[in-house]
Amino acid sequence: MPEHSCKNNALHPTGQPSNGRLFIISAPSGAGKTTLCNAILNKFPDLRYSISYTTRTPRNGEQNGVDYYFISKDEFQNNIKQNTWAEWAEVHGNFYGTSAQFIDRQLSQGNDILLDIDVNGARQILSRYPSSITIFIMPPTFETLRERLIKRGTDNAEVMAKRLKNAEAEIAQKCLYQHIVVNDTLPEAIEALSAIISGNRSG
């Protein structure tokens, strides 16, 4: 496990400068996070989803403004200079960022938000919004993760190798999170995640 893994563990709810609450969900690629997030958004229709910005190429079926906002590297870098991002990170060679304006507006309107971001992003959000609720989704085993990635078939061998390596590093940092949900069977994982969310809503 990397030495840096759990330095932020002390960041727990201390009060947020607004009424809304942030729910941060992280997971290694292939842990089933997108499916779980969609199920949660169906179950809690008033939960706002923070659509991330990315420089990654859209996958088949992904839509701009729904799954992500797909932007160029230049635009992303300009936004770094202009402090547009509440957090940003480079993941698997692409940039990903969360709009600070979206987050602050939604929180100030009392809306709870779901964020699907990586561990680096989670650290940044926690230091900016300390009362965020953090949830890490685990695959039942590392082998399951590998099988799910192969089955998904969206990545070439090089990207897949990067994702698996990154998965190990992310899992090593799971102690940053307040809640761990193991995605073994989908209905059980949805149930566990729903319980965490409904137990921590702002309203």
The residues that touch ligand 5GP, with contacts defined as CB under 6 A, are 26, 29, 52, 56, 87, 89, 91, 96-98, 116-118, 120-121
- C-beta of 126 vs 196, nearer to ligand 5GP: 126
- C-beta of 94 vs 200, nearer to ligand 5GP: 94
The residues, ordered by sequence, that sit 6+ positions from 15 with a Cβ below 8 Å of its Cβ are 130, 131
Strand order in the sheet with 113-116: 48-49, 113-116, 22-26, 133-138, 179-182
Residue nearest to ligand 5GP (CB): 121
CB 126 to ligand 5GP: min, Å: 12
- C-beta of 100 vs 203, nearer to ligand 5GP: 100
CB 32 to ligand 5GP: min, Å: 12
- C-beta of 44 vs 69, nearer to ligand 5GP: 69
CB 35 to ligand 5GP: min, Å: 12
CB 75 to ligand 5GP: min, Å: 14
Q: Which two tokens stand for residue 30?
A: 């292939």
Measured N-to-C along each axis, helices 186-198 and 33-43 cross at an angle, to the nearest 10 degrees, of 50
- C-beta of 155 vs 200, nearer to ligand 5GP: 155
DSSP string computed for 89-156: EEETTEEEEEEHHHHHHHHHTT--EEEE--HHHHHHHHHHSTT-EEEEEE-SSHHHHHHHHHHH--S-
CB 33 to ligand 5GP: min, Å: 7
d(CA 97, CA 92): 14
